Structure 1
Amino acid sequence: MSEAPQVDILEASKEKFVNLISELDDSQFHTFEQFVQSALQEYHGQIHHHHGDEGDAMDTEEHDGSYQPVSDAKMMRLGRMIKDLRTRVPISAEAPGEKTVIPNTPDFKGFTDQNTVHVDGFLFSEEDVDDLCEEGKMSRNYCLDCKSKNCAPLNFISHSASVLQLQFLYQVALADKVKDKVIVDVGSRLGAVLYAGHLFTRARKIIGVEINEWFTKLQKDMIKQYKMDDRIEVMCKDIQTMPELLSKDADIVIMNNVFQFFNDLPMQQQIWKFVRAETKKKSGLLLVTLPALQDQLKEAGLSANKLMKGWVKEVKLNYDGGWFQDLNDDELEEIKQVHLYKVL
């Protein structure tokens, strides 16, 4: 269908809808509004499922609602680590010579090397970025043709979980599931998941697997400096060379958008199939992904339903449970990137 007829249908539908609600009196309007909202939600779900993979919906279970508080002293210690890291890495938090690839997917349509900035979400909050812009160290816009009036917003990409995401991860999603357990962070990069895990939890062991030597050394230096080597270990390896780490050692595996920006599609597919095959050997193993596992598999060109069937069920998290005060819409969307799954 051409674009023009689609526009005509849309405009005609809008007109019909307005005419329809104009016929309702005040007593009927509220009931009709509730009906429309529920109908739209249902239809949205059908569309989402239709555009996904064929097959049955994935099994789910509800999160138990546990919450683990974190003291101000621990948050301040994490803040000191962040300030320290800012002096050791560039704003983009990219390793020397590191090459990242902007995925050719709908989520990143229009993103280019010219209009995209890498800013580490662990090191810099939105407020920090605003401060950097005010100081002239960064801009939120770029010039389209070197004329000052013709500017467009830059796209921002982070390769680390933010502090808020880490708080939600450990204080809510994994609140009562970590004590005496082994956590494995695949692609540990700056070590954000490791440091927060050490501060926020009583995990027995926290293992980072990082393929980049520069990032590995950085993490080891931080771990030694802040005396976290009693429970944290970092390995400079490709996760595909360590199957038993996933199939036997780990109780919890964390993956923060770990393959998409660093591997081509065939390699992403190979790694995801490896992760599935090894984690599937340990029933009850918990997987945490940012963003949703379904989305990451689809972005890698894989059938999410086919791979997830017989592998995991999602543990539905309550993002708006009042865990943190005064979350704005952007912050709520931020923690909604955290997803929890249990191996069947």
Structure 2
Amino acid sequence: MADIETVKRQFEAVLHNVSDDVRSQFLSWIKNKINSGEWGDVTREKSNEDVMLESIQSDLRSELPVNAVSHTENIHFPQTGPNADCDPSTTVHVDAFLYDEDAIDDLCEDQEVQMNCCCGSQEVQPLTFITHSASAAQVKYIFNYALPDLSGKTVLDVGSRTGAVLYGAYLYSKAKHIVGVEIDSTFTSLQTAAVAKYNMADRIQVIHDDILNQGPLIASSDVVILNNVFEFFVPKDLQEKLWIYLFATLRNNTILVTVPSLEESLQQLKTGINLEQCVESIDLTAPLQQGRLELLDSADADDSDLTRIHLYRVLASHSPCQ
């Protein structure tokens, strides 16, 4: 009977001698076999990082309502663009970092979500779920697969909210300096408390401020995260001002991580920004294949969380990129 090292070599030889597409299908088949229990209990043990992230999630769930909207912030529902169909009476805010799909199903069964629906009959009008935070899967995908090595780099999260991106950068990357800028005082306090409790202050800094006051920080950042950053929080004219300011301040070669794409974020705004001259899109085909395999339950699982993440490299700054 072959020993473990022989089996490893044979397995690697199989992967080496097939196309990328076949390799992806083969690995997905293996994962499905493992998840089904057909090969016995071979469940992968959680990493220390995963355990810590889950502990932070649990702490934050106890501090926030289900919708994770603080009493100190104002939500602006878009009047134009892809999210203009979000009706306040049937739109439910559920924080994706705090509640995954299974947890949302449990909330619906327990009628926790319904209590946060403004009005209107749920039997007549379907609910629309929206989140303003990155999910745990998105955070892991960004820092484990999508981004390059961040050793010695500065990561900036614009509108850091519950701090999901900050904790992810700390746990799953070697970034030297991780900064969250958040204008809402409630969320700033929550992040600061979490950073202190989990001894992350050596690399994480939380700043309570308007991003418009943080030009030097933007210009010195190697990676800037923009996750559903402005659309639901400020009116259209201020969104335009913020985007123009960002692109006038970012330095060349900075990597932008955005949800949704820059094209979608800017399509309804009058910014004068020419994206073709400002940025180049970074191909995520290979990271996406690996992320699907490692982070999703099966090859057929919904991967929209991952495919909504876009990466760009800044080509031109300190100009309107026109």
1:118 corresponds to 2:75? no
Residue of structure 1 equivalent to 2:310: 339
Q: Between Structure 1 and Structure 2, how many residues are aligned?
A: 267
d(CA) in 2 for partners of 1:170, 1:217: 24
* Deviation, structure 1 residue 177: 2.9
d(CA) in 2 for partners of 1:253, 1:143: 34
Identity %: 35
Residue of structure 1 equivalent to 2:133: 160
Classify 1:286/1:110 alpha carbon distance in 2 versus 1 (closer, same or farther; 3 Å): closer
* Deviation, structure 1 residue 170: 0.7
CA contact (8 A) 2:89 2:120 kept: no
SS in 1 for 2:274: helix
* Deviation, structure 1 residue 110: 3.2
CA contact (8 A) 1:142 1:152 kept: no
Moved more, 102-111 or 187-196: 102-111
What letter is aligned with 2:110? E
Moved more, 312-321 or 83-92: 312-321
Residue of structure 2 equivalent to 1:264: 235
Deviations 1:136-174 (A, max 9, x none): 22249979876x8x5221111100001111111111111
d(CA) in 2 for partners of 1:141, 1:90: 9
1:284 corresponds to 2:253? yes
1:226 corresponds to 2:198? yes
Residues 1-344 of structure 1: pairs in structure 2 closer than 5 A: 72-139=47-114, 150-174=123-147, 176-247=148-219, 249-279=220-250, 282-302=251-271, 306-318=273-285, 319-321=288-290, 322-324=292-294, 325-327=296-298, 331-344=302-315
* Deviation, structure 1 residue 299: 3.6
d(CA) in 1 for partners of 2:267, 2:299: 29
- CA RMSD of superposed structures (Å): 2.3
CA contact (8 A) 1:141 1:153 kept: no
What letter is aligned with 2:133? S
* Deviation, structure 1 residue 258: 0.6
Classify 1:213/1:143 alpha carbon distance in 2 versus 1 (closer, same or farther; 3 Å): closer
Unaligned runs of 5+ in 2: 1-44, 316-322
Deviations 1:199-237 (A, max 9, x none): 111110100001111111111011001111010001111
Unaligned runs of 5+ in 1: 1-69
When the two structures are superposed, what TM-score results if normalisation uses the length of structure 1?
A: 0.73
Classify 1:295/1:329 alpha carbon distance in 2 versus 1 (closer, same or farther; 3 Å): farther
